[in-house]
Structure formats: C-alpha cells, structure tokens
Chains A and B, each alone.
Chain A
Amino acid sequence: MLSELWQYAFAVLVWPGILGAGALGFLYLWVARKLMARLQGRKGPPFYQPFFDFIKLLGKQTVVPNGANRRLFYALPFMSLAATALGLLIIPVPGGAVGSFPGDVVLLLYLLEVPVLCDVMAGYVSQSIYGQVSAMREAVMSLGYNVPFLAAVIAMAQKAGSFRLGDLQAAPAGAVTALAAIAFLLALPARLKSNPFSIPNAEQEIVAGAHIEYNSAPLATFELSHALELVLLFDAFFVLFMPRLGESIANAALYLAVSLGLAALATLTAALTARLTVKRAFRFYWLWGGLVAGAAIVLAVVG
C-alpha cells in the first residue's frame, strides 16, 4: 500500500510528472524559440532560458488587479497545472509508472480541456478588456480545433474497440491511423496557440492575451502548465499514432525524436505563416478539419 503511494507520488512529482515533464517541456519551448530565431537569422536564446525565466518570475512581487476575484486569480494557474500533471500520470509513456485503465482516454480528453478553460476564466477574471477578448477567442477556437482533435481520438478508439490508452497504443497501424494523425496535427498549432492560430494570445494585437494581468508566481505557474501541456500533447501523439518498440531504449529514443520533431514542425509552421482571423480559422477547422475527421471516423467504422 505504502509502496504504491510512493509510486504515485513519484509519478506525479518526478516522472512522467512535474519535474521530468517540466524539464522536457522547457526543452521543447527552448527548441521552438531557438529554431524560430535561427529561421529569422538570429542567434536565439541559450538552452537554459525558459528555466531562468521561470525562476525569475517566482522571485517577483505579485500584483492583483483591482476588482479581480483574488481567490480565483490565484487558483486558476494551479488548477491548470494540476490538470496537466494528472494527465501526465495516466498517459503510458516510456518509464511511466501507473498502468492504463478502462476509460482513461475520456479522462485524458477532459484533462486536456482544463487548461483551456482555465485560460478562458483567467481572461475574464483579469478585468482587462484584452484578457476578455482573448478569453472569448479562446472559447470560440476550442469549438473549432476540437472537431479534428476529438475525431482523431474517437476514430482510434473505434478502431481499437476500446477506451483504454494501452489498447489504442497496441492497435496495428493502418489507413485510419494515418488519417487520424493528420487530423491531430491539424489541431496541434491551435492547441499550442502558435501561428497561424495564435489567435487567443495574439501579440501586437491584444498585448499578451488571457495572461495579460498575470505576473510573478501565478504567471510562472501558467508557463509551467503550458510546458506540461506541450509534453502531454506530444505524449498523446506518441501513444496514439506511433508503434511501440520492443526495446525500452529504442522506445525512449523514438519518444524523444517524435516530440522534438513535433516541436520543430509546429515552429516551422509558425515561422511560415501569418495569423488568421477567428472566422477563417474556424472555417478552416470545420471544413478541412471536418473532412479529415469525417473520413477517419467513417473509415474506422466501416473498415
């Protein structure tokens, strides 16, 4: 009993939880910043930059805007962090301690939505007009990108005939896997809020998005939560669409390669594109995202 508790504590705090995934997430954030800088012909920040940004924010004074609900203001970043850390607990990555259980796919989808909800509420709680615009955009966007995203997961679950991540991972690859992977990749930039779907956090347009009034430790917690969300999404891609290799070292190497590849792909997309309007992004997801999603589900049901 006690050893099991230790196992869970280790999984939440060290690997695949906050410490390990935080380090990985900061690495991916750095890869994104560095690659973006190189593509623009700049040198870019050193690899420890996101870590020092995080520590510096922890050491600053917290300013809560007038009229904001203080409890909610402080609670939101931690809710976001807790949801992503729990999501990491249930996802079967290399070295993950906790086994897969029936229905964990549904739980994972729910936990992936919590950071989005926290961002929407953070925008409204901040009392800033920019934060409110950002919150509205984020809510609208989530109705768009969830069409291909949910369809990708549902198609895989339908094919495997189960809502267990373990079964989804073990399912053999086929045409459904390819279509579902494309649907997932379509939704990825919007989930990461990077170009061309950097609509909720549009800099130069609505300043800093939903986090505009956040500073110091709450902002640092949001940053950490974003890093964990990044890892969680890459983990989900790895579990859903990548074959599981027999040897643990090969499996871990594949895991890292896939995650870094996704980070690079998202950055490349961001560097090559300009921000779309909400209307166009929504249209994109319901038209093209919907087409891919529909094809994946139909193929999964028929095939």
Chain B
Amino acid sequence: MNPFAKLLAVSRRKSPWIYVLNSGGCNGCDIEIAPCLTPRYDAEQIGVLRQGSPKHADILLITGPLTKRSHGAVLDIYSQIPSPKAVVALGSCPASGNVFAGSPTVDGPIDKYIPVDVWVSGCPPRPQLIIAGIAQAAQLLAEGRTADQQGKAKPC
C-alpha cells in the first residue's frame, strides 16, 4: 500500500458524511438519527456530518420498507452518491418489511435493488447502535470492502 492510499484509507474512516433517506417508513428511525448529532451522543466526534446533498455524502442511511412510490427516488439518490459509497440500512423495515410486510404497496427488502453493507437492527434502533453502524460502514470504506468498491453493486 503506497502512502497516499494509506492516508486515503484513514481519511475515509475518519470522515464519514451521511445522507439520510426515508423510503416510506414511519419516521421513527429518522427521529432516532437526530439525537446522534446532539450533545448527548455527538457523532461529529468521529467526523460524521449530515449532508443535505447526496453528492456530498459517503454513507447512505436508509430507513423504511421501500414502498413502490419511493422506489425510483431511492435508486436515483443511490446512483447520485459518488463512489466509493456505503449503505447502512436502519431498523427492521429495510430488512424484512417489519409491520408493513406483505403489504401490496411495499417493494422490499431493500437489498433486492441496492447492496446493503451494514444492517442495524431495532425498531427503532438506539442512537448508540446507529453511530456504531456508521463507524462500521466507515471502516468498510477504509478497507475497500463495501459492495460498491468490490463491484458487486448492480447497475440500476
């Protein structure tokens, strides 16, 4: 590993910028993301910044069961994030549909369409767990082990 690649790996671990996307969930997970940035948990200590534009993000935090209405927007926003990128699925909904499972309006699970790198469990997950998930995704980005970096992401 040359010195610049090493520095880049450390930088990716130390500077995870997140973009939060709700794919039709109940807003519970989104409410749990807010405390991550407040004085109690303060994720900025590990370099987390919440970005308003997917173009600036490294990690996509996705919540909700992926409804049919949000399907197109989710794929669009995922493809707008510049590589290398990681996806963290928050809560039970993206994984199984949770209470929305079996609904005709739900298109999940989410990894049918975009590759998920870290699953965070809970309904909703606790803020500590969300920060741990972001840190793990940043670690995967540094090691080059995300689905996007290994070329496993399907073209959408």
Contacts and interface: CB of A to CB of B under 8 A. Distances in A.
A231 interface: no
14 contacts: A33-B44, A43-B42, A53-B15, A53-B17, A56-B14, A59-B8, A59-B11, A60-B58, A61-B82, A62-B82, A208-B53, A212-B55, A213-B55, A219-B56
Interface of B: 7-8, 10-12, 14-15, 17, 38-39, 42, 44-45, 47, 49, 51-53, 55-56, 58, 80, 82-84
A63 B81 CA distance: 8
Nearest to B38: A42
Interface string A99-131: 000000000000000000000000000000000
Most A-side CB within 10 Å, residue of B10, B39, B52: B52
B39 A41 contact: yes
A37 B42 contact: yes
Contact of A52 (B38, B47, B84): B47
Contacts of A215: 55-56, 82
A59 B12 contact: yes
B87 to A, nearest CB: 16
Contacts of B38: 42
A158 interface: no
A248 interface: no
Contact of A63 (B15, B47, B49, B80): B80
Interface residues of A, number: 31
A61 B14 CA distance: 18
A116 B62 CA distance: 36
Contact of B44 (A45, A63, A216): A45
Contact of A61 (B7, B52, B56, B83): B83
A251 to B, nearest CB: 34
Nearest to A41: B39
Nearest to A48: B14
Contacts of A207: 52-53
A241 interface: no
Contacts of B44: 33, 37, 42-45
A53 B47 contact: yes
A60 B47 CA distance: 17
Contacts of A46: 45
